[in-house]
Amino acid sequence: MQPLDAKHTCWYVSFGTHGSRPEGAGGPGAGLPAGAVRTLTTEQRVFIQEQIPVLCNKGGWRLRGCAAGPQRVEVLLDARRSVHGNQIRQLLKRWLTQVLDAKWPRPDETPWWAEGGSIKPQKEFVKARALFMQIQKHRASL
């Protein structure tokens, strides 16, 4: 993994699928009717992992690693210091929705993604590398 540099911020960005909950918040789908939690198929997860490098290029970001789980997407990337992680997360969710809808049209208006998510700037190489290794373990494959 490349070292961190002063011109960029290394961001850890993650977000869940619609209906999923962060750990410690009652678990996925707590309080929702059955079937309300969107779970990604293995094919969709692999597709997302193939699309994220394209989307990072579109955003002008350098991808370090990404993974798509059944109910969570994780991305580690570098962006110019002028770009905040909130903007990156919003754009990733919007652009992933567009490419997913083109391949798997939604029969209803249920969104792909839960509101919000996590953004964490990584200022220490050791912590960024640990996140990179975590992400690599979560990658989907066919």
Give pLDDT tens digits for 44-92.
999 999 999 999 999 999 999 999 999 999 999 999 999 999 999 999 9
- Report pLDDT for 23: 47
- Quick check: is 42 in a domain? yes
- Quick check: is 4 in a domain? no
- Quick check: is 115 in a domain? yes
Structure-derived torsion over alpha carbons of residues 11, 12, 13, 14, reported in degrees to the nearest 10: 180
Element (H, E) at 80: strand 72-80
CATH of the domain at 102: 3.30.70.1290
- Quick check: is 26 in a domain? no
- Quick check: is 112 in a domain? yes
Query: Would you say residue 25 has pLDDT above 80?
Result: no
Q: Print the domain residue range for 118.
A: 9-21+37-138
- Quick check: is 89 in a domain? yes
Q: pTM for the full model?
A: 0.89
Number of domains composing the chain? 1
Mapping DSSP to helix (H, G, I), strand (E, B) and coil, where does residue 42 land?
helix
